[in-house]
Structure 1
Amino acid sequence: MDEKTEKAINAPHAIRPIESETIHNNGKHNSDVTTRLEEMGYKQELKRNLGMISILGLSFAIMAVPFGTSTTLNIALTDGGPVTILYGWVFVSLVSLAIAASLAEICSVFPTSGGVYYWAAMLSTPKYSAFSSYLTGWLGTVGNWTVTASITFGGSQLILAAATLYHEDYVPTKWQTCLVYWASLLGSLLVNIFCTKYLDKLNTICLYWTGISVIIVTLLSMADHRNSGKFAFSHFDASNSGWPSAWAWFVGLLQAAYTLTGYGMVAALCEEVKEPAHEVPRAMVLSVAAAAVTGLVYLLPINFVLPDITPLLEVASLQPMPLLYKTVTGSAGAALGLLFLILGIWVFATIGSLTAASRCTWAFSRDGGIPGSNWWKVVNPTFGIPINSLILSTVVCALLGLIYLGSDAAFNAFTGVATICLGCSYAFPVLCSLLRKREMVSQAPFSLGKAGFIINTITVVWISFSIILFCMPTAVPVTDPKSMNYASVVFAGFSTIAAIWYAVNARKHYHGPTFSAEKIGTST
């Protein structure tokens, strides 16, 4: 490689940051997104058939608020109960709005499916650009995989827990849970391959289904037993956690933080959106705002009808929500009906999360970030989607399911790793932007203006703190391997793979996003 080419590849900052005036003229979009994509170093390979509502629906589907908060309810019940459920949600919602706004601003400048790893490369100094991109790319990819695994696994547990509504003595075996999990992954894979042209409609339907699911609030409000307002708004009990009260509340934030974490994943679909610099940033922020409201509407009534939590924490499936529904309604049939609404949301979430994970894998492979990239970066000409990356993402998630055969805490490991990895991948480009005094986003179409520095700082500080927080076990003391938080183990495992690949190959051959390499070659 000659010196000129090497400098160009390692100086991505030469790319012209997109400015607001190139996006709008008299309120209309007039920029050539294909040309813009070529400026960022990539050719148009995927069909641009998604709009803002579809991306909003996808982001909303991945967060899947009623489902996400239901499958992680045991965490909040263990670490504080109603106060953690309610105020933890409010706190994390506000922080998540800051994170989403920070990412949206950067996305509006660099709207590519590379997402966080591309942004890290663009916002770093030339010396550290390639390494920043590599590190962030792996964090983002692992985060996408583990989010998909956690969503699919949580729903599989709920399906089997539904059987206990009618057969209280039934205890799902680990193999049964894994088989349902693998079958669910296979179903999501087939939908993503053969129904890809309907994904736009599926994402839109998800918005309406989630809205309909608010009927749960009405039915729960009809419960015979209701707690007082004092209990719903101020009861705090961390006796089951073993942690000091204040720290228990923070540990319990994983319920909200895990649910409100998937909005950044939709950046991986920028190259399938008609006006990505405008629509994807809006969808990110609006989806978090909508999720915040939905969560309040769903969680507050649960506080008012919350029964004794001891039986809820003792369920063999580790999913207390079916029992809660049955206890509150007094009917197994009614509980199953409520659970059906939640599982409907889960279906959209599993499909959407695998879509985003596969696009993230595909984008990172284009720049050689994953072993076997030449295989994973291929777009199938028949279906017009990266089927190989879809299969890889599915296989990785399927293998992660084996952790459950060794530990009942596998679901907590998935949720913890997903939250940590995605959080780190979100924080790194924002930190790079801060360190460079936000120069690259000063003319962003989605601009945070003077508040940008404060919002970016909140993002970095919170995510840095959450890395430590979500490696903690839900309860102490840890008396056996089953109660350990395996998030750090899974995180270390993927980190080891990334480090080995970097030492063996990427250190010499990975240069980060190789923008306009063909043009460089022809001009020299």
Structure 2
Amino acid sequence: MARDSTADAQLAAMGYRAELPRNLSMMSILGLSFAIMAVPFGLSTTMYITLTDGQSVTIIWGWVLVSLISLCIAASLAEICAVFPTAGGVYYWSAMLSSRKYAPIASWITGWLTLVGNWTVTTSINFSGGQLILSAIALWRDDWAPNEWQTVLMFWCVMLVCLLVNIFGAKYLDPINKICIYWTAASVVIIMITLLSMADTRRSGEFVFTHYDASASGWPTGWAFFVGLLQAAYTLTGYGMVASMCEEVQNPEREVPRAMVLSVAAAGLTGVIYLIPILFVLPKVEDLLGVANGQPIGLLFKTVTGSASGGFGLLFLILGILFFAGVGALTAASRCTYAFARDGAIPGSRLWSQVNHKRDIPLNGLFLSTIVCCLLGLIYFGSSAAFNSFTGVATICLSTSYAIPILISLLRGRKLVKNSPFSLGRFGVAINMVTMFWIGLAVVLFCMPVSIPVQADGMNYASVVFAGFTAISAGWYFIRGRKAFKGPPVAGVVGPDATPPSSTAGVDDGREREKA
């Protein structure tokens, strides 16, 4: 595909040289975002959370609530992305929206949050995928459960497949991302028809839409509902990650924002269509929560279809979605790593920011992302609830990284987004405020264990993982960052009021020059 000279010039105005081919379309980015969220897969692998914390009400209405909130967050990010379409994403936006004085530290904090969020969401997707693959064995052996080594090795195998696809199939990412949309839609329809046609017994509409039981959680009744929102919040998190692909898209100021918002809307609708039939045929909750492998969806499919083979057939469709999700998440994580290293914010940045021009990918950033994810999987040897830690810290990091540029824009009167091609207009302030309130609550919620009382091996270590990466980020900042890191480079104004990139007249850094 030919280069987009306008987009390349705009990127140059933001201080970067175009190094990656612009061979992705809006549909491809929509597919990538949809793949990372992987609605049927994400909801299936986290179903034990909502079955513990409220059941039907939390599953359905929690999903609807978080879908609406996620639309607000996606729209807020899209408005900013339309002005600053670069692979730096939220950390670049934080710098550009801040005053000069605070731009470096704002971009440093945001960058590390989004980097850790990308790594941990990739870890959680592929780790739960490994668990789900192993759970297929339990369809024929009810008393079998994988040990720690089997689980971690399977996780590493999934990571290896995703790495190889990203290396050798890089030029096919556009069709792969598009196929994801059709595979997911077809899977949801097939699962819905199969479950509803083969179920011997069905729940009532009252159960599906109004049943609430949080007795298994140990939490107070109302609070359990909010703790259970982790299922929906984790699934609906990855849409902001696609900002890292801006430098591989034609007309990114238009196409990437559209893809962000449309993917969340499509994911919300897909989730409702997927969840309602499952609740109508839901087997005994006690049986589902009692599975030895911790993944109840396989047993649910087996019970409803009446055979292990039937259960595996439906599970295979979910595993297909895992493929797209794992590949897409690792793609976005590698681009995020490359972009942040490009500005010297990661130890060994010169190495991780290199682009392999033979394959036109940031190969070293891809390797680093894969290695970090594989090392994080070792947490499972210390905690059987490691997946909770990955989902929690991924949701916290990505959510807070989204919040920082939105908060800065809000505090500064939304001046630099007022003429955005994707403007929220008069509703912008209200939408931004909803975003900030939710993310503040989410940070508290998703450090909580799914149920109480809790033992050490079942604890949600999200706060520990978060603190560990915070220590690395803070340590590197004091060792090198505070002296060497100046924030993203700026060569000229970007956005709708920009001076043409070919001109150097009236060059400004987008931070309004004041020292506030």
Same fold (TM > 0.5)? yes
Q: Does 2:477 align with 1:502?
A: yes
- Verify: 1:218 aligned to 2:193, yes or no: yes
**Distance of 1:36 and 1:275 partners within structure 2:** 10
Give the equivalent residue in structure 2 for 1:140: 114
Provide the residue aligned with 1:120 in structure 2.
Answer: 94
AA of the residue aligned to 1:241: S
> What is the DSSP-based 3-state SS (H/G/I as helix, E as strand, rest coil) of the residue aligned with 1:127?
coil
Is the partner of 2:139 in helix, strand or coil?
coil
Give, in whole Å, the separation in 2 of the partners of 1:149 and 1:512: 28
Given candidates 219, 224, 231, the residue that maps to 1:243 is 219
TM-score normalized by the length of structure 2: 0.94
- Map of 2:404 onto structure 1: 428
Aligned partner of 2:48 among 70, 74, 98: 74
- For the pair 1:380 / 2:348, whether they are aligned, the reply is no
Which one of the candidate residues 294, 301, 318 is aligned to 1:318? 294
Q: Which runs of 4+ in 1 moved over 6 A?
A: none
CA distance in 2, matches of 1:280, 1:357: 17
> What is aligned with 2:317?
341
Measured in 2, the distance between the counterparts of 1:257 and 1:146 equals 14
Does 301-310 or 288-297 show the bigger shift?
301-310
- TM-superposed CA distance for 1:31, in Å, is 7.5
Q: 168, 172, 175: which one pairs with 1:198?
A: 172
Write out aligned runs for 1:362-373 (5 A). 362-373=338-349
Q: Among 351, 366, 374, which residue is 2:327 paired with? A: 351
Residues 14-163 of structure 1: pairs in structure 2 closer than 5 A: 32-163=6-137
In structure 2, how many angstroms separate the alpha carbons of the residues matched to 1:362 and 1:167? 44
How big is the alpha-carbon RMSD for the aligned residues of Structure 1 and Structure 2?
A: 1.4
Q: Distance in 2 between matches of 1:219 and 1:250?
A: 31
Question: What fraction of aligned residue pairs are identical, expressed as a percent?
Answer: 63
Q: Deviations over 1:42-92 (max 9, x none)?
A: 000000001100000000000000000000000000000011000000000
- The runs of 5 or more residues in structure 1 that have no matched partner are 1-29
Secondary structure of the residue aligned to 2:344 is coil
Which residue type is aligned with residue 88 of structure 2?
A: G
In the alignment, the residues of structure 1 paired with residue 223 and residue 290 of structure 2 have an alpha-carbon distance, to the nearest angstrom, of: 23
1:245 & 1:302 partners in 2: Cα distance? 23
Could you tell me which residue of structure 2 aligns to residue 488 of structure 1? Answer: 463
The DSSP-based 3-state class of the residue aligned with 2:354 is coil
Unaligned 5+ segments in structure 2 are 493-502, 508-516
Match of 2:251 in 1: 275
Letter in 2 for 1:398: C
Residue 169 of structure 1 and its aligned partner are, at CA, apart by 1.9
Partner of 2:496: none
For the residues of structure 1 that align with 2:491 and 2:165, how far apart are their CA atoms? 34
> 1:199 deviation in Å?
0.4
| CA distance in 1: counterparts of 2:301 and 2:168, whole angstroms | 35
CA distance in 1, matches of 2:203, 2:186: 25
- In structure 1, what is the Cα distance between the partners aligned to 2:203 and 2:142? 26
Shift of 1:405: 1.0
* CA displacement 1:362-389 (0-9 Å, x = unmatched): 0000101111000000001211110000
Q: Which secondary structure state, in structure 1, belongs to the residue aligned with residue 403 of structure 2? A: helix
Taking the aligned partners of 1:298 and 1:433, their CA distance within structure 2 comes to 36
- For the residue of structure 2 that corresponds to 1:46, the secondary structure is coil
Residue 179 of structure 2 is aligned to residue 209 of structure 1: no
**Cα deviation code 1:100-155 (max 9, x no counterpart):** 00000000000000000000001111111000000000000000000000000011
CA-CA distance at 1:333 after TM superposition: 0.8
User: 1:222-281, CA deviations, whole angstroms, 9 ceiling, x for partnerless residues?
Assistant: 211100111111110000101111100000000000000000000000000011000000
The alignment covers a number of residue pairs equal to 491
Partner of 2:495: none
Instruction: Answer whether contact 2:143 2:292 (CA < 8 A) is retained.
Output: no
One-letter amino acid of the structure 1 residue matched with residue 456 of structure 2:
P
Counterpart code for 1:481: A
Q: Secondary structure at the match of 1:402?
A: helix
Q: Partner letter of residue 80 of structure 1?
A: G
**Given the two structures, how large is their TM-score scaled by the length of structure 1?**
0.92
Q: SS of the counterpart of 2:82?
A: helix
CA distance in 2, matches of 1:185, 1:208: 23
Contact 2:37/2:235 (8 A) holds in 1? yes
Q: Equivalents in 1 of 2:165, 2:448: separation in Å?
A: 36
Residues 161-170 or 416-425, more deviating: 161-170
For residue 239 of structure 1, give the secondary structure of its aligned residue in structure 2: coil
- For 1:316 and 1:153, the matched residues in 2 are separated by 17
User: Aligned residue for 1:511?
Assistant: 486
Task: Give the superposition deviation at 1:515.
Answer: 2.2
Q: Distance in 2 between matches of 1:169 and 1:372?
A: 47
The one-letter amino acid of 1:163's match is: I
Are the aligned partners of 2:28 and 2:174 in contact in 1 as well (CA < 8 Å)? yes
Supply the distance in 2 between the matched residues of 1:128 and 1:294 (Cα, whole angstroms).
41
**Aligned position for 1:475:** 451
